[in-house]
């Protein structure tokens, strides 16, 4: 069974498809989280606020790069 080339090709294709599917789902999850209305709260951890700040700065830099 493990000596057949078809098995190894199928295994490789399945692994690659799984990796791309996982990455797609993670990106989609982040997009959905970004679309949800944000209700500011005093209980938001500082690390989360810094992550959001960095993400916004990256988006701003990308938009500015498109302009100029």
What pLDDT score does 23 carry?
Answer: 94
Mean per-residue pLDDT, 43-53: 88
CA atoms within 13 A on the CB side of 67: 6
User: For the whole prediction, is pTM greater than 0.75?
Assistant: no
Mapping DSSP onto H, E and C, the string for the chain reads CCCCHHHHHHHHHHHHHHHHHHHHHHHHHHHHHHHCCCCCCCCCCHHHHHHHHHHHHHHHHHHHHHHC
Residue with tokens 């100029």: 68
What pLDDT score does 55 carry?
Answer: 94
Please state, for a pLDDT cut of 90, what percent of the chain lies above it. 54
Q: How do the domains of the chain map onto residue ranges?
A: 5-67
């Amino acid at each position: 069974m493990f000596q057949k080339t078809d098995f190894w090709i199928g295994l490789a294709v399945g692994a690659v498809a799984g990796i791309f599917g996982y990455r797609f789902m993670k990106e989609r999850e982040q997009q959905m989280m970004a679309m949800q209305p944000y209700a500011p709260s005093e209980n938001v951890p500082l690390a989360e606020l810094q992550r959001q700040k960095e993400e916004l700065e990256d988006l701003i830099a990308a938009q500015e790069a498109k302009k100029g």
